[in-house]
């Protein structure tokens, strides 16, 4: 498998350059085609705030979203004009409640979706909706680009978070092209089960699977010495000087993670290196 078809979504003029820097680097490294969707987002909630509003107010929100789409599209085309990759860009307007449909329709025909970090200061609520739409409705692998990080189109040291879940295995399979090119992939197992068929060799079977695909692996078994699993993973990212994290996304329901938190949400909030996810 190779990444021949890449896709990204731009909804914030301030994130255009940052996101396209990562996306074009990945496209260049894989000789891939990059599709860019420039969306102006109407953030009003239909049936709630605007239920009693006038048509003039409603039209104002649509006009504002159209103007934003034009601005994002102009910035994207200017940024890509001198690029050596093959690319295409389209623009449109979507309500925040309906944005997932537009993203998923394109993500499902992509090998990899490159998106900005969805959480953090100044990040719009639509970024979470875009990320989840690509993962769940689009069934695509997603690469989250953290703020201020140099693109890692060919990471040398990869941390792979293994918890024996279907999501983690899906991420490993989807990330094989990146893993094969790495100098080492650390299969990280936190508090492995004391019972079960893999208790004597935690991470052994998935490491064997990766090795048969030409991946150089090491197994790191860690104890959960911090309150959250994501904290242990992030500390190990620093300890091993990782260039990228590969992990399964949303092992719990999205509702549970939104209310109570979870490894996926905390990783996306705190990560300082790109995070490759699949569900």
Assigned domain for 245 exists: yes
pLDDT value of position 264: 82
Percentage, residues of the chain above pLDDT 90:
68
Assigned domain for 220 exists: yes
Q: Which of 122, 145, 168 is the last residue of a domain?
A: 145
Find out whether 253 and 173 touch, Cβ atoms under 8 Å. no
Whether 209 and 270 share a structural domain:
yes
Whether 135 and 39 share a structural domain:
yes
Q: What is the C-alpha to C-alpha distance for residues 151 and 171, in angstroms, rounded to an integer?
A: 20
Q: What is the C-alpha to C-alpha distance for residues 121 and 202, in angstroms, rounded to an integer?
A: 38
Instruction: Note the pLDDT tens digit of each residue in 57-86.
Output: 667 888 899 999 999 999 999 999 989 999
Whether 168 and 124 share a structural domain:
no
Boundaries of domain holding 47: 5-145
CATH number at residue 92: 3.40.50.620
* Model pTM above 0.85: yes
Better-scored residue on pLDDT, 10 or 95 = 10
- Would strands 142-145 and 275-278 be described as parallel, antiparallel, or unpaired? antiparallel
Concatenated DSSP letters of 42-64? E---TTTGGGG--HHHHHHHHHH
Q: Which of 110, 145, 180 is the last residue of a domain?
A: 145
Instruction: Note the pLDDT tens digit of each residue in 27-66.
Output: 999 999 999 999 999 877 554 455 555 666 667 888 899 9
């Amino acid at each position: 498998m190779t990444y021949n078809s890449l896709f990204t979504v731009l909804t914030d003029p301030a994130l255009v350059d940052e996101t396209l820097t990562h996306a074009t680097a990945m496209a260049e490294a894989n000789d891939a085609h990059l599709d860019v969707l420039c969306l102006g987002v109407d953030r009003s909630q239909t049936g709630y705030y605007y239920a009693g509003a006038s048509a003039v107010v409603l039209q104002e929100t649509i006009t504002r979203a159209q103007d934003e789409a034009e601005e994002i599209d102009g910035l994207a085309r200017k940024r890509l004009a001198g690029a050596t990759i093959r690319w295409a860009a389209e623009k449109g307007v979507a309500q925040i409640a309906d944005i997932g449909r537009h993203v998923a329709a394109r993500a499902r025909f992509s090998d990899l979706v490159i998106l900005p970090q969805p959480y953090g200061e100044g990040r719009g609520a639509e970024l979470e909706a875009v990320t989840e739409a690509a993962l769940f409705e689009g069934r695509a692998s997603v690469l989250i680009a953290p703020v201020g990080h140099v693109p890692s189109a060919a990471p040398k040291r990869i941390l792979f978070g293994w918890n024996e879940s279907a999501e983690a295995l899906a991420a490993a399979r989807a990330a094989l092209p990146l893993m094969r090119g790495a100098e080492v992939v650390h299969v990280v197992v936190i508090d492995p089960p004391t019972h079960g068929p893999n208790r004597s060799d935690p991470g052994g079977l998935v490491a064997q699977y990766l090795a048969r695909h030409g991946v150089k692996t090491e197994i790191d078994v860690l104890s959960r010495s911090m309150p959250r699993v994501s904290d242990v993973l992030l500390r190990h990212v620093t300890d091993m000087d990782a260039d990228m994290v590969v992990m399964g996304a949303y092992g719990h329901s999205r509702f549970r993670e939104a209310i109570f938190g979870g490894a996926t949400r905390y990783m996306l909030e705190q990560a300082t290196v790109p995070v490759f996810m699949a569900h």
